[in-house]
Each structure stands twice: as C-alpha cells, then as structure tokens.
C-alpha cells in the first residue's frame, strides 16, 4: 500500500505581501509576480497529478490553485474549503509592522512575545484557529484520495501542518517559515505521518525551462 501524499502550497505574492502589510482575511488579489509564481508552481507540479486540489475561499489562494490546475493535463477544478481561510488580524489588517508598532506599541509587544495568546482586536481567536486547523487535518486524513494538493495561506498552513503532525499548534505554528508559492509535504501511512519537506521554493529560483527537471521528492 502506497502512502497518501499531501502537498501544501502557500498562495502567490500580493501587493500587500510586497509592502509587508498584515493581510489576514482581507481579500487581496495576486500581483503580476504572484501570478507568475503560481504558473511556475504549476509547472513544478504538472507531473504529480493530484487527485484533488483543495483551496481557501480567498481570491489569492483560489487564483493560485486555478493557475496550478491549468498547468496540468488533468481537468481538476479546485474545491473551496472554508477551514482554509486565512486567520484574521482584525484592525491590524492593511497596516505594516512599522505602522502597528507606532500606533499600538503595547499590543504589538504583547503579540510579538505571545502571538497565539494576544490576538489583535477583531482578529480570530487562538481557539478558533486551532479548531479549524484540526478539522481540516482530520478531513485530509479521512479522505480516501491518495494525492491531495492544498492551496492556502501562511498562517493557516502552518497551523494545519502542526495539526497533521499531531504537534502543538501554539508551539509550532510561529516557528515555521512558508514563503509565497512554497511547497511543503507530508506522507501518511496508516497512523504514521511524516514531514517530507518544508518551504521548498526551488521552482521560483531557476530558469523556467529548468523547472520540470527539479525532483519533487514525492
């Protein structure tokens, strides 16, 4: 029996990413660079042939998923899953870190020292983030599909990966880096779940003609 494979992809870059603005649940579209990143990711994954593509309802993730799907010979329409929506940062959204530090210095220090316990006003609670990441992890584990591609957001995917690995979401979520259009993957064999790789961005750093030759290791 072959193990189930799950690849996690963070969406392509947006203007707010490029300006280092807190994005959260704001529905900011991909920039031109982000669309090119998504096309490159599609080239990298074209030979993998996932059985399904699951994505966040936010436009930047859905567009990334569509561009990835478009590079495959298969006809796969991305499926929207509300659990994959990015966490909300409340009234911090749209602000840069420098602006937040200047306007809300006390709150910012509390968040930096304990980001899971100190959510900005109007933001998503730690309990909610943990709950839906575990719900999505269980959906993935319960699925009978052998290969699933998940396209979502940095915060959501880090929480999801921690949940898949049965690790503490608060302890692990903020200790990982997932860059835009990076690939991270796990394998599932019965009850054994293994991290295959994290934050792979090789396809974004080589000539376009060389992308298909990069070993996917899945």
Write down the H helix ranges in 114-174.
126-142, 154-164, 169-172
Catalytic site residue 83?
no
Coil, strand or helix at 143: coil
DSSP 3-state of 115: coil
What is the full DSSP assignment across 163-187?
HHTT--HHHHGGG----TT-EEEEE
Q: Do residues 26 and 60 make contact, with C-beta atoms less than 8 angstroms apart?
A: no
The active-site residue out of 11, 81, 153, 203 is 11
Question: Does 81 participate in catalysis according to the annotation?
Answer: no
CB 37 within 8 A of CB 180: yes
Selected catalytic residue, list 62, 83, 86, 130: 86
List active site positions: 11, 86
């Amino acid at each position: 029996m072959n193990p189930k494979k799950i690849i996690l992809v963070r969406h392509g870059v947006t203007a707010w990413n490029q300006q280092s603005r807190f994005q959260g649940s704001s529905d900011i579209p991909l920039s031109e660079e982000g669309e090119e990143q998504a096309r490159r990711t599609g080239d990298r994954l074209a030979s993998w042939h996932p059985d399904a593509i699951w994505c966040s309802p936010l436009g930047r993730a859905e567009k990334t998923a569509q561009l990835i799907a478009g590079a495959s010979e298969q006809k796969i329409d991305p499926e929207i899953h509300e659990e994959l929506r990015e966490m909300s940062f409340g009234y911090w959204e749209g602000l840069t870190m420098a602006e937040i530090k200047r306007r809300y210095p006390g709150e910012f220090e509390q968040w930096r020292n304990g980001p899971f316990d100190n959510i900005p006003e109007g933001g998503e609670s730690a309990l909610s983030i943990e709950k839906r990441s575990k719900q999505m992890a269980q959906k993935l584990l319960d699925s009978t599909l052998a290969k699933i591609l998940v396209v979502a957001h940095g915060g959501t995917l880090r929480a999801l990966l921690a949940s898949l690995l049965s690790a503490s979401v608060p302890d692990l979520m903020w200790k990982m880096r997932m860059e835009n259009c990076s690939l991270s993957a796990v394998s599932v064999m019965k009850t054994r779940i293994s991290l295959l790789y994290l934050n792979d961005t090789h396809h974004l750093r080589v000539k376009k003609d060389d992308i298909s030759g990069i070993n996917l290791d899945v």
